[in-house]
Amino acid sequence: MSELAHEPELLQWSGASKRILEAVAVIAAAKNLAVGRVSGNGDDMKLVTDIASKNAAAVGNETPVHAMRNGTSERVVIGITGPVGAGKSTLAAQLSTCVIATDHYFPNYDVTPEHLRDVPEYSDLPRLASDLAALRRGEDVTIPVWSFVSHSREGYQRVQGAPIVVCEGIHALHEIPRAHLDISIYVDAPSTVRWSRWEALELSGVRQLGVEQARAFFHEFAEPIFGRFAGGYKSAAHFVVVNDGHAGL
């Protein structure tokens, strides 16, 4: 069943995290979680209604949340997507200490053609969805560890659940993981700003792809591939955050 259409709420970068956390508090209250102040304004209640519609369409839920499951309150799960360098990880860190990056579910580059590395079908999104479902239930999970040095999966790490769980990455709002999200966010920024951030990372040595190879990948693959999904992800978002150019990666 397709999702019901709704207009996302437009946020500027400054103040975006505060507004999102206010909405989280509303969802959390419905889940019987004490994570902060509960705001009862009209925008928040509309958000709850939108989430109810989204869940009903996507996974058959009749309410925006399941307050209790086997005697345990569910956690609030936020998904943040956007093109490379938009500021997804920066925003995620402002919302929670429990952040799962979709990068860790990437395929190994040595066995994946360059033009397929950012295609969602080549990421392990079913495992991501399973991990998010477990975190939503309040369980700890073991997730893959993907290295930007070797560009491959190098092991696993244990992630402890938290009242707010954030999944961030280029395909965080793909329909497979989206079924386990309470709030969906799309972050955007100009292409020139985003490339400058990636270039800075390559120059710092954090990502050892090399500036020239990274530039080619950014323009030839990352941008056009994400562009094929951007419209759908943005239309599924409850918030669209416009990055003012001052946020980091």
Domain boundaries, the chain: 74-242
pTM tops 0.85:
no
pLDDT above 70 as % of the chain: 77
Report in angstroms the alpha-carbon separations of 24 from 9, 33, 89, 100, 164. Answer: 14, 10, 18, 17, 8
Distance CA 114, CA 249 (A): 22
pLDDT computed for residue 202 by the predictor: 82
3-state secondary structure of 141: strand
Lowest mean pLDDT among 102-111, 117-126, 240-249: 240-249
Neighbours of 72 (CB within 10 A): 11
Check whether 41 has a pLDDT greater than 60: no
> Is residue 141 classed exposed, middle or buried when 0-12, 13-18 and 19+ CB atoms within 10 A define those classes?
buried
Q: What is the pLDDT of residues 151-184, one digit of tens each?
A: 889 999 999 988 899 999 999 999 999 999 999 9
Average of pLDDT values for 126-134? 96
Question: What are the pLDDT digits (tens) for 74-120?
Answer: 788 999 999 999 999 999 999 999 999 999 999 998 899 988 888 99
- Name every residue whose Cβ is closer than 8 Å to that of residue 175 and which is 6 or more positions away in sequence: 58
Decide yes or no: CATH 3.90.550.10 for domain 74-242.
no
Where does the pLDDT of residue 203 fall: very low under 50, low under 70, confident under 90, or very high at 90 and above? Answer: confident
